[in-house]
Amino acid sequence: MSLNKNLIEQILAMQAGDLNEQEASSIRQSMYRNPEMAELFESWKMISTLIQSDDSVSPPDAVIERAKRLEMPKVTPPVVEQGALASILNKIDGFVARLIHDSQLQPVAIRSGSEGNLHQVWEAGEFDIDIIVDKNDKSGQWKLRGQIMSDDNLDGLPVAIVMAGTTNVHSECKLDESGIFTFDVNAGTWGLRIGTEMQSVTLEPIAL
């Protein structure tokens, strides 16, 4: 059995203590059958022990050369995995949206910006949602921009504009890593659905 990138990553994860007992047991069984895996594990175990005991001591040359010959897996930026996304959707499904601020409900004397603009702030469980809507005088359309703030990584979470009181989707997109979304909409009464049709919370009404 050759050492592919996945096996190398698993061996290093076991050395770092990042595997659960079932995963670690599976790797140990593989090492019994594959001396190359066992050699790699012992090499990195030796390097780790030396570093932890005395950072002024360099690993043996043979260990360093062995490490240099390995094709190590590339480090990629973290993304929202399906399991993490499912966890977020499960949380969203139990939230009730609450309107905290609506600029159109403020007295005219203290409103800021153009009278055609709308600013809303919503709260939905652990999420804070900031929405700004500006009217394009030339096209008559509205640009709805917003950001969902959360401690979770929301990259890839689906968001949709729906007709208020229905599940009819006007347009949809997925959040970027900053939780930002943008839509072009016509005048009407809309809702902002965060999540999927089956698991979501909807902010409504957004009247334009």
pLDDT of residue 111: 46
Residue pair 48/67 in contact by the 8 Å Cβ criterion = no
The phi, psi pair for 143, rounded to 5°, reads: -100, 110
Low-confidence ranges of the chain (pLDDT < 70): 1-7, 15, 31-34, 37-38, 40-41, 44-45, 47-60, 62-82, 106-116
Residue pair 133/118 in contact by the 8 Å Cβ criterion = yes
Could you tell me what percentage of the chain is helix, strand and coil, using 3-state DSSP and rounding each to the nearest 5? 35, 30, 35
pTM of the model: 0.57
* H helix runs in 93-162, sequence order: none
pLDDT of residue 107: 61
pLDDT of residue 39: 74
* Strand blocks (E) in the chain: 97-102, 118-124, 127-135, 142-149, 158-163, 169-174, 180-185, 189-195, 200-207
Q: Tell me the CATH number for domain 86-207.
A: 2.60.40.10
**Would you tell me the crossing angle of helices 35-53 and 5-16 to the nearest 10 degrees?**
40
The angle formed by the CA atoms of residues 34, 36 and 41, to the nearest 5 degrees, is: 100
Residue 183 bridge partners (DSSP): 144
For CATH 2.60.40.10, the residue range(s) in the chain are: 86-207
pLDDT of residue 92: 85
pLDDT of residue 26: 75
